[in-house]
Amino acid sequence: MNIAILFGGSSFEHEISIVSAITMKKVLKRSTLTYIFVSPDRKFYLIDTEKINSKLFSSGEYKKSKELTLKQNGFFIDGMFGSKSVDFDVALNLIHGRDGEDGKISSMMTYFNIPFISPRMEASALSYNKLYTKFLAESLGVKTVAYEYLSKNDERIISMDYPVIIKPVRLGSSIGVSIVKEASELDYALDVAFEFDTDVIVEPFIEGVKEFNQAGAYTNDWELSIVEEPHKEEFLDFEKKYMDFSRDSQVRAADITDTLKEKIQESFKKIYDPLFKGSVIRCDFFVVEDEVLLNEINPIPGSMANYLFEDFESMIERLSKALPTEQKITVDYQYIHSIQSAKGKA
């Protein structure tokens, strides 16, 4: 199977996407990989799979690669004697943050009729914005962590008891995130967050909370990963998550009861189906007094959360054969013809 890995993008998470993409060489061992890099200025480049490494991008050497054009049914190399298509079976969206998770790439892939693995436009819009994620979960009967919302121009007042955690609404990988332990620290934390986004959510920081990660997809049946209890520190900052995204070996399942596992998986299914069909997502849950609360949706988890699956590559192959498709619309201009005929202008 030939899989095109789309990575990079105009995003604060650009570098994480590069690490995530390179890791796929260790994960998708049976597949042929075609690497398509989206530069910070949003140009497409075909990257040599054998030569891909992080320095290629940090040095700017990628600019010597062949530039691609996105057209109907695929990516093309334009030359003096015409265009040559880049051959692949399915594109895998590994662009973290803006461009990849906000719906831009999904919309382009849909518009140009390219098969792709990623959340579709509506799913991207709702999961990219943490506030909208709260609204989605609440509408589906999935409980979330309590929150308050602040915009950049709002008065900096919160009613929640300290400590709290401040999160930019449209960012992942813990970028711009701060734990605020007392009121005197709030202004600084908000200044940091507003460097990256115009809106933030404020949540209670729950000391020692139990956290669990569940990933999965729907092919012709549910394909759920193990439930992971991630290594707990105060919180995972950018650097730790950067390293976390390079994982390529399966981790151990959490030691939890079957009842709790079923609760987590039931909440995951409510979030996923049908909005996220065609994608592999990871949901992060908190468990407080035996109640499962959605913390976040990761619509494009680092290296697609391969480390949570026993056979990630086979699951990707099955998913590529069960992608949602747009309804085909036939335009025959009957309405216009009828108007023209009525006016005697057939």
Render pLDDT for 82-140 as a digit per residue (tens, 0 to 9): 899 999 999 999 999 999 999 999 999 999 999 999 999 999 999 999 999 999 999 99
Per-residue pLDDT at 341: 84
Domain with CATH 3.30.470.20 in the chain: 126-144+209-320
126-144+209-320 to CATH, choices 2.60.40.1180, 3.30.470.20, 3.40.190.10, 3.40.50.300: 3.30.470.20
Please determine, looking at this structure, whether the domain spanning 148-204 carries the CATH number 3.30.1490.20.
Answer: yes
Question: What number is the average pLDDT over the span 24-39?
Answer: 96
Question: What number is the average pLDDT over the span 260-288?
Answer: 96
Question: What number is the average pLDDT over the span 67-76?
Answer: 96
Question: What proportion of the chain, given as a percentage, has pLDDT over 90?
Answer: 80
Query: How would you write the chain as a 3-class SS string?
Result: CEEEEEEECCCCCHHHHHHHHHHHHHHCCCCEEEEEEECCCCCEEEECHHHCCHHHHHCCHHHHCEEEEEECCEEEEEECCEEEECCCCEEEECCCCCCCCCCHHHHHHHHCCCCEECCCHHHHHHHHCHHHHHHHHHHCCCCECCCEEEECCCCCCCCCCCCEEEEECCCCCCCCCEEECCHHHHHHHHHHHHCCCCEEEEEECCCCCEEEEEEEEECCCEEEEEEECCCCCCCCCHHHHHHHCCCCCCCCCCCCCHHHHHHHHHHHHHHHCCCCCCCCEEEEEEEECCEEEEEEEECCCHHHHHHHCCCHHHHHHHHHCCCCCCCCCCCCCHHHHHHHHHCCCC
Task: Record the pTM.
Answer: 0.88
Question: What number is the average pLDDT over the span 289-311?
Answer: 93
